[in-house]
Amino acid sequence: MPTPVQVEIATGRIEGQWRDGVARFLALPYAEPLCPERRLRAPLPRQAWSGVRAAHAPGHAVPQEHAGFLGVGECGEDCLHLNIWSPGLQGQHAVMVWVHGGGFLNGSNAQAIYDGEQLARAQNVVVVSVNYRLGLAGFGDWRAYPELAADTNCGLRDLILALQWVQTQIAVFGGDPQRVTLFGESAGGMAVASLLSVEVARSLFQRAIVQSGSADHIYLPQYAQQVTARMREQMPDLQSLAAASWPQWLRAQRSTLRMLMPRGRAKPQIMQYGMPALPYIDDDLLSPSLWTAARDTRPLLLGVTRDEWSIFLHHPELMGGKKAEPKVLDEADFARLVQRGVPARAAALSAAYSDLLAGESVEARMIMFETDRIFTMSSLKLAEAAADRSWFYRMDWICAGLRQLGACHIVDLPFVFANLDTPWGQFFAGSRASAAALSRLMQDHWGHFAREGCPGGSWPAYGSSAQVQVFSENPHLESDPYRQRREIWQSQGVW
């Protein structure tokens, strides 16, 4: 039975709950609500309250269209808050701040798959999960419309304010502000990688974990502005845009979902679609001179799942998309996919992947190519640049509930958070003893990294030998398993 616990923070008194040796405080606001006039402005620190604020229940998610996405829950304007799980309010525990995924369009810190209680208990760390602005409220470039008085990269600014809150308040919860690990998956991992390049965030976290993310999911300003202009066109005038309700705003945002834009600075260009809202170069937070995540000196743990893209191919509805229509895939489908993704090198890349996977199905080639294009190659490039201060992994666990998905995107999440008994944990991980053992192993590595700045055991740094830790039924190390695929991208100048 939970028992109440109260603490005092800078903005007032709060009451959380002790449960099985872990104190949880839910929906602690770090910023003021997102009323329409504040929707495109930098976040304001939360004002103090009187009395005792209950922190027992999850808070609202940031307004979004797919609130059913992995159990996001109810949305609302008072959504810039964080959850905390602490193994003890005394002492100085390492802190792990989680940034959720969802394509910068969906997601919430209240999703059950991200519950931090088990991680806090098992690794003796304070776990924090954060909400931040999504879509073109969080990542639209509105500078072409000075009447809106908009700030840039508001989603990143939200995360920075939350990290500043952690620096000043986490000691009350038994956390050490000098041992903060920022970690996230998918869009959350991309946000973490982006913040490695933000000077004002440099002192706010000391280590980073990037799960199925990368440092090149960033727009140059001209492309961010094109996406924003498309949404602007859906409204009769700027006044209507500024005063729009959240449902109106989100309907207008739909117009951007099918846009095809180059991401990063690679030449030839790698195209981005389905994620119209990305962090972008703004000459303020993300300036060209500071876009140097690959040269950052902080310890970095990062990796991918083996078959990231399979879930987007077979069951995009699990990722907040439309259900895929059954279809027999053929060579023309593969050719179109590669042409859309890297148009300037489509012929060469199509041939290379067909040779590499000779005898394999079209589906297998599509999954490997998109997994590499979106996730793996940019993650490897970041690990290679970090070398002896980076550790790389590959998740090979096959989705228990639908083996067709293989080791798909987000299959790693229930293992890291040890939420194997939740519905999504059962779907992705299953109930075998080997799943629980793998979860303990991954948690031990993540926790050791948060406490000491390196994973535990005999997992070597990526270094010059490109060592990769494989998480599977039988965890093991592999030396440079991506060599052939990496050489394909290097030979085409896309590296």
Q: Poorest-confidence range of 91-95, 315-319, 385-389, 421-425?
A: 315-319
User: What angle (nearest 5°) sits at the alpha carbon of residue 378, between those of residues 467 and 40?
Assistant: 135
User: What gap in Å lies between CA 463 and CA 446, rounded to an integer?
Assistant: 19
Categorize the per-residue pLDDT at 266 as very low, low, confident or very high, splitting at 50, 70 and 90. confident
**What integer is the mean pLDDT of 221-236?**
97
What the block records as the tokens of 343 is 């148009």
Regarding whether 401 and 252 lie in a shared domain, the answer is no
User: What gap in Å lies between CA 360 and CA 53, rounded to an integer?
Assistant: 58
**What integer is the mean pLDDT of 28-47?**
97
Considering its fold, how many domains does the chain have in total? 2
Single out the residue in 227, 253, 272 at which a domain terminates. Answer: 272
Regarding whether 226 and 343 lie in a shared domain, the answer is no
Categorize the per-residue pLDDT at 400 as very low, low, confident or very high, splitting at 50, 70 and 90. very high
Does any domain span residue 294? Answer: no
**What integer is the mean pLDDT of 127-143?**
98
* pLDDT tens, residue by residue, 416-461: 999 999 999 999 999 999 999 999 999 999 999 999 999 999 999 9
> What's this model's pTM, rounded to 2 decimal places?
0.97
SS3 state of residue 241: helix
Regarding whether 217 and 97 lie in a shared domain, the answer is yes
Categorize the per-residue pLDDT at 290 as very low, low, confident or very high, splitting at 50, 70 and 90. very low
Does any domain span residue 279? Answer: no
Regarding whether 353 and 438 lie in a shared domain, the answer is yes
User: What gap in Å lies between CA 130 and CA 342, rounded to an integer?
Assistant: 34
Residue 206 confidence (pLDDT) above 60: yes
The chain-wide mean pLDDT, for the chain, equals: 94
- Of 86, 129, 186, 350, which is the active-site residue? 186
What the block records as the tokens of 213 is 């993310």
Regarding whether 24 and 123 lie in a shared domain, the answer is yes
Does 186 participate in catalysis according to the annotation? Answer: yes
User: What gap in Å lies between CA 123 and CA 489, rounded to an integer?
Assistant: 38
**What integer is the mean pLDDT of 388-417?**
97
Single out the residue in 257, 272, 287 at which a domain terminates. Answer: 272
User: What gap in Å lies between CA 194 and CA 317, rounded to an integer?
Assistant: 27
SS3 state of residue 48: coil
User: What gap in Å lies between CA 125 and CA 116, rounded to an integer?
Assistant: 10
Regarding whether 359 and 226 lie in a shared domain, the answer is no
CATH of the domain at 451: 3.40.50.1820
**What integer is the mean pLDDT of 86-106?**
96
Range of the domain at 485: 299-491
Buried b (16+ CB within 10 A) or exposed e, 409-420: bbbbbbbbbbbb
SS3 state of residue 302: strand
CB 352 within 8 Å of CB 488 = yes
Residue 230 confidence (pLDDT) above 50: yes
Does any domain span residue 162? Answer: yes
**Alpha carbon distance, N-terminus to C-terminus of the chain:** 54
pLDDT of residue 327: 83
Regarding whether 380 and 305 lie in a shared domain, the answer is yes
Does any domain span residue 291? Answer: no
Residue 67 confidence (pLDDT) above 60: no
CB 399 within 8 Å of CB 406 = yes
Does any domain span residue 289? Answer: no
Regarding whether 306 and 235 lie in a shared domain, the answer is no
